[in-house]
Amino acid sequence: MNMDIATVNVLPYEDFVNIFGNVVEKCPIITAAVWSGRPFLNLTALETAISEFIDALPESGKEGILRCHPDLAGRDLQSGTLTRESREEQAGSGMDVLNSAEVSRMARLNEEYKERFGFPFVICARMNDKANILRQLSERCPNERAVERARGIEEVKKICRLRLQDLVLTDSPNKL
Binding site for ligand 3AL (CB under 6 A): 25, 69-72, 86, 89, 120-126, 159
Catalytic site residue from 62, 69, 149, 163: 69
Measured over the CA atoms of residue 74, residue 94, residue 160 and residue 84, the dihedral's sign is negative
Which is closer to ligand 3AL, CB of 16 or CB of 71? 71
Q: What is the largest CA-CA distance in the chain?
A: 53
**Residue type for 129, please?**
D
Least distance from ligand 3AL to the Cβ atom of residue 150, Å: 15
Whether 69 is a known active-site residue: answer yes
Burial class (CB in 10 A: 0-12, 13-18, 19+), 163: buried
Measured over the CA atoms of residue 46, residue 51, residue 55 and residue 59, the dihedral's sign is positive
Which is closer to ligand 3AL, CB of 46 or CB of 93? 93
Least distance from ligand 3AL to the Cβ atom of residue 32, Å: 20
Q: Nearest Cα to 153, choosing from 31, 32, 68, 45?
A: 68
Least distance from ligand 3AL to the Cβ atom of residue 131, Å: 16
Which is closer to ligand 3AL, CB of 37 or CB of 61? 61
Which are the catalytic amino acids? 69
